[in-house]
Structures are given as structure tokens and as C-alpha cells.
Structure 1
Amino acid sequence: MLSSRRQPAEWALHDAVWIGWPSAADLWEDDLGPARAEVEDLIRAVLFPGGDGSGARGEPVHLLARGADAIAAAEIMRERLPEPALLTIHDAPIGDIWLRDTGPVFVKEESGALAASAFAFNGWGGKYRLAKDDEIARIVAELAGVRLRRFDEFTGEGGALETDGEGTFITTRQCLLNANRNPGLSEKDVEAVLKAALDAEKVVWLDEGLAGDHTDGHVDNLARFVAPGKVVCMRPCGEDDPNADVLAAIEKTLAAATDAAGRKLEVVTVPSPGRVELDGEPAAASHMNFYIANQSVVMPVYEKLTGKAAPGHDAAEILKELIDRPYFCAVDSSHILTGGGSFHCISQQQPSRQEDRIRR
């Protein structure tokens, strides 16, 4: 009988983090260099959150890049770091940088062993099918030296799932019940797969995602656990916020929800980025797409697009009080956003092997 496997909370200790490096010049065009600069800023905030390399170290970084030109650029970037050895570059056939979705979900087996689960991947409902992206989960698991178990009867992505590490998950109907991924599956069908793959005991279902989100409503743009029983989401900012109704519905659903332990969720809100546009249309800009590293929280802001420090400053002030980390880094992600996501979308944490077994 296969042992139970549970995805730890993101704030649990990591052995490493896997990050995608912008490699496809034909996809990024003029944003290629600026997007790489923002990924470098993310890496620095994870590795050296104090800013000068003299403070505490974060988890090591594994960077996936494709092709000689991308690897050369990554190596030049690595040499600029205070401790280049903390960054390992892997040549891998990534179609694009969204490792939260194309990579595996790392889990801890009941024995304490690190392992990984993976679902079928179809390019976010067939919208962006890129060569080899459906092989990245296997490649990352092999590089990490962990056993991969596939759940190919179900199509989904890591960015569609948010967990407290204690068996509670949040997701959206727009994504996981979408006919472009799982036609004919019910909520109970999906919950059964998540139980087998990630030991989900309770799933909180939200409805819709952000306007302009090509992922069909990934939850890592909407709501994030920051502690057991505590979840953060966004409130509208500005009269022209394109997500005002969606954000209000999310807050209402979460406020009425309980977790796997039966606790009523404590819901905290931060201001959204407001209306952020790309090519005249709303973009899925979100302060929820933060990454919780061992020593820091890295929250995306979009000042290059909006020209405004607030509401990112206001969101940062709230989040830094909620998440137990010595450093909080608000980092601009405007150019990465042109590809459709932000820092959480391009990263995947590898939990520490030090804990003995899954906590019950």
C-alpha cells in the first residue's frame, strides 16, 4: 500500500527552491532582459535578504534554463551573486518559466521521505502548449532525487492549489472544474485525487479568478495561508478595480469556511494592486503571488507599470506582520507579469528532509 503523502505549508523549512529562468527570446521579446533582471532580484531576495550578502542565508536555488544563450546569461548573473555556489544552474527543456505549474509538487511521505506528486499538464487548458513542458515534473523530480508519483487522470497545476500543510486546501472551480482541464469531474472527484496526491482532507472552493488571468483562476493570485487557520486575500483598490466583485466574493467565501481541523478561518485582507493594464486590458497583477522563503517573504509589486508605490506599500506593511520571517522584500515584477504571472508562479519549494514524518 502506498504511504500517505502530504504537501507541507510553504512556511515550513525548505532544503531548496526551484526557479525558472526566462529562456525563450521569441516569447519574451523586449521583456527578456528586464524579466531576467527581476528573476535575479527574486533570487537575491531569497538567498541574501539582508541585501549585501552579510546576513542570514536563505535556501539554495536551483535555476532551470533552456539552451546555450540562456545558460550563459544565467551564469553571468550567478557570478554577480555574493556566493555564486548557492545557485545551481540546470539545462532543462522548459518551454517557459512557470515551474509552479509545470514542475512537481513536493510532498512528505508518512515515513518522512521526500517525494513528489504530479498531475497531467495541458498548457493551462490548451492555451499555451509548449514543447517538453509536460516533462518538467519528471525532470525536476529526477534532479532532486525523489520518487515521483503521477496522477494523470487529473489535469491541474501547482498554482491552482494552496495549502496550510495540515490537510486544508483552497482552489477554484473556474480552474479545476473547467471543461478545458477536467470535463465531467465533480468537486468530489477532484477532492479524491487531491486526497491521494497531497493528503487533502478539506477543500475550500472559490469560484472565479482575476480578470486577465490566463490560468483560469489560479488560487495563488487570490488567497494564501499565512499560518494555520489564517488566510490572506485582497480587497479592491480604487473605483476602477476590475476585480471588485470577485475579491468581495472570495472574502465572503473564506470568512464562512472552516479548515480540516474544524477551525473557522481568520481572514485578513490587503489592498489589491488596483487596475493594472497590459496592452489596454486588465492584467492579473496580484500581491498574493508572494513566495515564502526560509528567511524572507518576497512580494511582487508593479510600480513600473502603475507608477505608484501604494497600494503595494500598504499590502507589504500588513503582510510583514502576518508572516513570521525576519526579512520582507517588495520586489517589482512588472516585466514577469507580461508573461502572465509573478514570483510564486515561477518557483517551487523543496521541503526539508529533516522532519521525521508527516504531522497528524
Structure 2
Amino acid sequence: MKIDPGFFFKNSLGKDPLLPADLGYFFPAEFHRHDATWLSWPHKQASWPGKINKIYPAYATFVAYLSRSEQVNILVADDRMQQFAQDHLAKAGAIEQRVRFHHFPTNDAWCRDHGPAFLIHPKPGWSKAIVDWGYNAWGDKYPPYDLDNQVPERVALHLGLPCFRPGIVMEGGSVDFNGAGTLLTTEACLLHPNRNPHLNRKQIETYLKAYYGVQQILWLKDGILGDDTDGHVDDLTRFVSKNKVLTVLESNRKDENYQVLQENLKLLESFRLLDGSSLEIVELPMPAPVVCQGVRLPASYANFYIANSYVIVPTFRDAHDEPALDIISSCFPDREVVGVDSWDLIWGLGSFHCLSQQEPAASTIPDVS
């Protein structure tokens, strides 16, 4: 069965039977094979005040790795921005034939949060679908964001895919998936009144299950210091297989992140998956505090991006860089783990995972290895 391409479902939860989960759609794990990665080219000076020109070498290196792994779709405002991007990508050695530009203007670069959330169906013959969550720049912190909020709809129309509109705010960096029915998130973000003040925890869980096609929500508590998203999980804990997570821990007991991350660890240890099994937990160090102009930045090795051939990890010119890469490598024997300097990128309060959104390959067998 196929849903008409380009059809938009303006859902009223509980009233409209055409919900993704009811139809069998689900959001796969990031380690599921991709057809492409979607990006929004960075251009907002205020996101990297005084530093935006310094971020392009690292960003272009990120794209170059992606282009060796899968197709890369980059949103740009116009021909001028496209040429600027192409010049940087050529210097970084990106494979030109693997990079496609789309003239969809954006307000900012954080495609994880404003980009399309792709769903797949386990049965052959079903098209992919997109969830068009509302986007309000992390609680109306950084207006304007009207162009960013239009991105999922524009991508759905461009690709001719059905699009579901839940009518609530949700960000891709606030959730992580094991591809087998479990979603991981944080109370600090999803229960914050600057997102959906009219919804309680149970109601938010109902939306997550209906639109992501999951059956279980696991809640961590708070995020790391400096995270202006109010505690996105992609700086904390990431699924690397169906039952294994990497989670960051702070070794310095005097650091403000120490207790928060210990509390999250205890929760992870208490969780049980749908089959009753406990999580296999791999501990990942935190880098030493990264401070710029007196501001503590949310530097975390957990903000890696899982591509088809690579796992691309932010590094911070820190003694923990190599140990972190080794630990992450142990979790991905089928991919090459590479570190890319994120010293300047993190001044924007995010790194490679925050900047990217995967488009999964359609598959009749979910990859939950």
C-alpha cells in the first residue's frame, strides 16, 4: 500500500486514524542504513559570533566524510551560498557527485532539530514518510525561525512523500532510538514549559508513540552545562545497537556535570527494554571544560554522527580525545571512527549530530543489530 505522495495529514491526536504508528511506520535507529544525510549550510553569524569563518574547514571535512559514505543533501539560500559551499567542500576533498544542493533558505544550521524526521515501513511497497514537528528554536530563544520551521514540509513536497503534522514542538536532538521500539529522551527538555506547556508527560509519550512508532519511552533527567537546548539527549547517551548505549560521565567530582551524569547513569542501569533485558552501558569520558569568552560550552563526545561507513566524532584538542575515539570504535566494528576538530564549531553550542539529519533507507527488515 502507498499513501498519496505529497499528502499532508493535519492530525488531531486521538481523532484521526491515519497516525504513523497505526499505519505501521516507525523511526529507525541512526545505525540503520541511510539513503542520505541532510544538512543546512551554516550562515548565521550570531550562532558563531566572531568565529563563523573558522568553522568551515571542520564542517567541510565532516561533509567530505559523509560524501564518501552516502549522498549528502545540503540546503542553501541561493546560488551564491551554493558556490561558497562548493568552494569549501572542494578544498576538503568532498566527492562532488555525492553532494546535492537544494535552494531552501534556512534561518540557521541545526538540521537535527528543524530537519525532516523520516519514517520507514516494514512492508515492501510503502513509501517513506516525514513527520513535520513544530520548531520554535528551543523555546523561542533565537527568533526568527520561520524558514527553519518550513524545512520538513518543503523536503516532503520535493521528494513527493506523505507528511504527518502532529501540531506540537519536537526536536531531533531530544530523542534517540534503538530501532526496536524504544526511545530515549530527557525530562529537562521534553517537559520544559517553553516547548509544549499544554501537555503533561503522559500526553507527550502518547505523541512520541503515535508519530515515531515506538512502544517504550525511557526518561533521563537533565543535560550538561552550557546546553542551550535544555538538555538534549544527543549530548548525553546514544544507542549504538538494540541494547547497548554509550553514555558520557564526568570524572571530576567538583565539576558541575558530575552529579547530573551520575544520576543519568543510575537511571540507565535501572531501565529494562521491551523484552525485559537491561541495557549494556559503555562509559564515555567527558573532555575537560571548553570555555570561550567566559562561557562554558556543551562539549561532548556523545554528539557523534553515525553514517553508513563512518562514525564522525567531535574532538576538542583534549587528552580525552583519543581514549574517547577508541571507546566509540569498540562499539562500531563495521564502521571507521574518525575524529574531526570541533573546537570552533562548539562555540555555536552544538556539533556534528546537531548539524545533521539522516534519511534512512527503506527496508523490510529493520537493522537493530
Q: TM (normalized to structure 2)?
A: 0.88
Q: Does 1:17 align with 2:26?
A: no
Return the offset for 1:67: 3.9
Where structure 2 has 5 or more consecutive residues not aligned to the other structure, the ranges are 1-16
Task: Determine the C-alpha separation between the residues in 2 that align with 1:244 and 1:333.
Answer: 22
Task: Determine the C-alpha separation between the residues in 2 that align with 1:89 and 1:184.
Answer: 38
Q: Does 1:105 align with 2:83?
A: no
Q: Does 1:145 align with 2:156?
A: no
Q: Does 1:356 align with 2:364?
A: yes
Residue equivalent to 1:64: 75
Residue equivalent to 1:347: 356
Aligned length: 344
Contact 2:243 2:278 in 1 (8 A): yes
Per-residue CA deviation, residues 291-344 of structure 1 (Å, 9 max, x unaligned), is: 0000010011112xxxx2x21211110110112333110111122211110000
Residue equivalent to 2:329: 320
Contact 2:223 2:230 in 1 (8 A): yes
Task: Determine the C-alpha separation between the residues in 2 that align with 1:182 and 1:158.
Answer: 15
Give the 5 Å matches for 1:73-152: 73-80=84-91, 81=93, 83-111=95-123, 112-130=126-144, 131-152=146-167
1:358/1:318 Cα in 2 relative to 1: closer, same or farther (>3 Å)? Answer: closer
- The match for 1:203 among 204, 214, 217 is 217
- The match for 1:167 among 181, 194, 198 is 181
1:68/1:146 Cα in 2 relative to 1: closer, same or farther (>3 Å)? Answer: same
Return the offset for 1:140: 2.4
Residue equivalent to 1:8: 28
% identical aligned pairs: 33
Per-residue CA deviation, residues 106-138 of structure 1 (Å, 9 max, x unaligned), is: 111344421111211111011012241111111
Residue equivalent to 1:336: 345
Give the 5 Å matches for 1:239-318: 240-303=254-317, 308=318, 310-318=319-327
Per-residue CA deviation, residues 6-37 of structure 1 (Å, 9 max, x unaligned), is: 11111111000011211224543432222121
Q: Which amino acid is the alignment partner of residue 291 of structure 1?
A: Y
Contact 1:6 1:200 in 2 (8 A): yes
Q: Classify the secondary structure of the residue corresponding to 1:260.
A: coil
Q: Which amino acid is the alignment partner of residue 356 of structure 1?
A: T
- The match for 1:36 among 52, 56, 71 is 56
Q: Classify the secondary structure of the residue corresponding to 1:5.
A: coil
Q: Classify the secondary structure of the residue corresponding to 2:211.
A: helix
Where structure 1 has 5 or more consecutive residues not aligned to the other structure, the ranges are 49-57
Task: Determine the C-alpha separation between the residues in 2 that align with 1:235 and 1:267.
Answer: 11
Q: Which amino acid is the alignment partner of residue 161 of structure 1?
A: V
Contact 1:242 1:275 in 2 (8 A): no
1:320/1:358 Cα in 2 relative to 1: closer, same or farther (>3 Å)? Answer: closer
Q: Which amino acid is the alignment partner of residue 266 of structure 1?
A: E
Q: Which amino acid is the alignment partner of residue 354 of structure 2?
A: C
Return the offset for 1:186: 2.0
Q: TM (normalized to structure 1)?
A: 0.90
Task: Determine the C-alpha separation between the residues in 2 that align with 1:157 and 1:82.
Answer: 28
Task: Determine the C-alpha separation between the residues in 2 that align with 1:254 and 1:358.
Answer: 24
1:77/1:223 Cα in 2 relative to 1: closer, same or farther (>3 Å)? Answer: same
Return the offset for 1:82: 5.5
Task: Determine the C-alpha separation between the residues in 1 that align with 2:253 and 2:263.
Answer: 17
Bigger mean CA offset, 338-347 vs 66-75:
66-75
Residue equivalent to 1:51: none
Contact 1:175 1:218 in 2 (8 A): yes
Q: Which amino acid is the alignment partner of residue 4 of structure 1?
A: G
Task: Determine the C-alpha separation between the residues in 2 that align with 1:179 and 1:237.
Answer: 32
Contact 1:23 1:67 in 2 (8 A): no
Give the 5 Å matches for 1:209-248: 209-238=223-252, 240-248=254-262
1:82/1:232 Cα in 2 relative to 1: closer, same or farther (>3 Å)? Answer: closer
- How much is the aligned-residue C-alpha RMSD, in angstroms? 1.9
Return the offset for 1:184: 3.7
Task: Determine the C-alpha separation between the residues in 2 that align with 1:79 and 1:359.
Answer: 33
Q: Classify the secondary structure of the residue corresponding to 2:193.
A: coil
